[in-house]
Structure formats: structure tokens, C-alpha cells
Amino acid sequence: MEAEREAKIYCANCIHCKLVPSPAGAGRYYLRVRCDEGKWRKKLGEEKIYKYCTVARRSIDACDSYEDMGDGPEFLKDLRMTLPAADEIYDAPTAR
């Protein structure tokens, strides 16, 4: 049963964990992640957005909006291996 979950919930394996671009100036951007359900909040209520390179570390003990994508430990292992080690800047795609 989901309510009896013993392990932590990893946000990266939730359907509500979304990848979003964050402007870096000069047509470039950073990749960030946010909770589409608004569960990541700062103390004053503002939405918290995390660096993409840290998404595999985001976990919580319980979440009423968690929807498992079904990929489990294998997905998280692959994600940790393929994530950039540090924050990276990307060039915006050029119009065709």
C-alpha cells in the first residue's frame, strides 16, 4: 500500500516534477525543476525552484500529491549517472 511506504519519496520519480528553462541572459538558459503541484515552497510561501543537477537528491517522507511514474530505483540510478555534475548554461534553440 502507498500509505505504508517505508522508503523516502524521490521527487524526480513523480509525475509532478517538471523541467523548466530559467533565463540566463543573452539567449541562454539554465535548466531548473519545479513541483507542478506547488509542494516546494520557501518559508515565506514563494515557490522554490531547484537546479536540475540536484533533482535526484530531492526527497520527502510523505506527499499527498505524489504520483509514481513507475520507473523506481532503476530510473533514479540512471538519472544520477546522466545528470550534469554542476549547473550548466544552454543555448536557446535557433529559429528555423
**pLDDT at residue 60, rounded to an integer:** 87
pTM beyond 0.85: the answer is: no
Residue 4: which pLDDT band, with cuts at 50, 70 and 90? Answer: very low
- Residue range 36-71, pLDDT digits in tens: 999 999 999 999 999 999 999 998 889 999 999 877
Strand 28-35 relative to strand 17-25, pairing: antiparallel
Q: In terms of pLDDT, which residue wins out, 26 or 94?
A: 26
Domain assignments of the chain as residue spans, ordered by start: 2-91
d(CA 92, CA 65): 32
